[in-house]
Amino acid sequence: MSGISSMTPREFFDHWPDFGSNSDVLLLDVREPDELRVAAVDGTLNIPMAQIPGRLDELSRQKTIVVMCHSGVRSMQVAGFLCQQGFGHVVNLDGGIDAWSREVDSKIPTY
């Protein structure tokens, strides 16, 4: 899956500081609900990794989809899957929520 592009949380936030429902980017969090209760980023769409295949209709093919998880492993797998399904603009968030709390918002706890 080396063809998937990646960006750090800082690069994401610098590029899309006002991301959200009216943005040209979707931040897709593929972590489980118990992980979200510990740490979450406002403005994300949460679809746990295992549910992605059945919920593709919730994702816009017109937006850039930036996929995040805890550290970047699951999100890279989901990004590859989305590319295989024909989504043209998919990016992996390197370091996931863990890096987000270190680079963008230290109020978000690490776990």
Q: What is the pLDDT of residues 35-57, one digit of tens each?
A: 999 999 999 999 999 999 999 99
pLDDT beyond 90 at 99: yes
- What's the first-to-final CA gap in the chain, in angstroms? 26
**Across 91-97, average pLDDT:** 97
| Residues identified as active-site | 69
Q: What is the pLDDT of residue 23?
A: 81
Structural domains in the chain, sorted by start: 5-103 (3.40.250.10)
In this structure, how many other beta carbons lie within 10 angstroms of the beta carbon of residue 39?
Answer: 20
Looking up tokens 């510990």 gives 38
Instruction: Find out whether 67 and 97 touch, Cβ atoms under 8 Å.
Output: no
Which amino acid makes up residue 94?
A: D
**Across 13-40, average pLDDT:** 89
Q: What is the pLDDT of residue 16?
A: 87
**Across 53-82, average pLDDT:** 96
Which residues have a Cβ under 8 Å from the Cβ of 2 and sit 6 or more positions away?
none
Q: What is the pLDDT of residue 21?
A: 67
